[in-house]
Amino acid sequence: MRTSCSSWSYHRTIKAGKMDQLSWLKELAACEFDGAELLGYHFPSTDREYLIKLKKVCADLYLDIPMVSASGHLTTADDAQRAKEVEDIRKWADVAVFMGAPCVRFFCGSGEELQAGGPALYDKVLAAMRQVAALGAERGLVMALENHGGTTAEQLLSLHRDVGSPWLKFTLDTGNFPPEGRASPEKYDQIARCAPRAAIVHAKFFNVRADGSDADFDWHRIHGLLAKAGVRGYLSLEYEGDDADEVAVVRRIARFMKTLR
C-alpha cells in the first residue's frame, strides 16, 4: 500500500492562512507521502492556468494524485438540488481528468435521510448514483462513494449492488461508520465487509500518540483486514483530531504510516 494525504488534515491551518494548496504539497513531499489527495474545498481556482501550475508542482515534488475529492448530498429531498449536486460532481470529474487522477470521491449524503426517505428516496438516490457512475464511465474514472454522513455498510453495499456499474467503488473511511469517531467490533466488521470494493482508503486518525499511532484505532488490525481483502492502493490520511498544531501531528502520523506500506 502507498500513502497519501487529504488537505482536510490541515484544514484549520489552511483556514488560518498559514498554508495554501501549493505550500501544502511541499509539506507532503517533506513528509515523504507518495501522493496528494486533492480536496475540492481547498482549490483556490479551477481555471486551466492554475490547474497547469498545480499539476507541475505535483510532478516536480514526485507526488502522485490518487484522487480528486468532491462532496455531494444526493439524499436531499429537493430534486432540483440533487441534480445540482450531480453537476458539481461532474465538475470535479472533469478536474480529475485534467489532473490525471484515476478516481473521484463523492458523498451519498445522510444515512438517516436515506433511511427515513424509504423506497421513494432510495430510488431517487439510486438514479443519481447511476448518473455519477456514468460520468465515470464516460471519462475512464472510478467514482468512489465515501461512507460519510452516517451511512452504514448495509446502505453502501445495497447502493453498490443496485447501481451495478464497474465504475462505482468505495472511498473506505475507517472512522466514519456509525458511531463516528469511535472504534468498536461492529466498525471493524463494516470495514472488512466494504474493503473488497475499496478504490482508496481514508486512514482516519483522531487521538494521536507520540509515535504517530492512534490510541483508539488498531491500525495493524485494520491493515490486516485491508490486506486480506486485497487492497493494494492508497491509504490517504485524514486527521480529524483536536491538536492545534496540525503540521506537527501529521508529521508524526506520516512516520507511523510508513510502517503500513
Buried b (16+ CB within 10 A) or exposed e, 163-183: bebebbbbbbbbbbbbebeeb
Hey, CA dihedral for 136, 121, 152, 246, is it positive or negative?
A: positive
- The predicted structure's pLDDT at residue 189: 94
How many secondary structure helices (H) and strands (E) does the chain include?
Answer: 9, 8
- Mean residue pLDDT across the chain: 96
- The predicted structure's pLDDT at residue 74: 98
Contact 205, 211 (CB under 8 A): no
Buried b (16+ CB within 10 A) or exposed e, 247-260: bebbebbbebbeeb
- The tens digit of pLDDT for each residue in 189-204 reads 999 999 999 999 999 9
| Topology annotation, domain 2-260 | TIM Barrel (3.20.20)
Portion of the chain with pLDDT greater than 70, in percent = 100
Contact 105, 67 (CB under 8 A): yes
- The predicted structure's pLDDT at residue 76: 98
d(CA 28, CA 10): 11
pTM greater than 0.85: yes
- The predicted structure's pLDDT at residue 261: 82
- The predicted structure's pLDDT at residue 178: 85
Q: Coil, helix or strand for 101?
A: coil
- The predicted structure's pLDDT at residue 184: 81
Instruction: Output phi, psi for 156, to 5 deg.
Output: -65, -45
Stretches in the chain below the pLDDT threshold 70: 181
**Strand stretches in the chain, DSSP E:** 2-6, 35-39, 68-69, 103-107, 142-146, 168-173, 198-205, 234-239
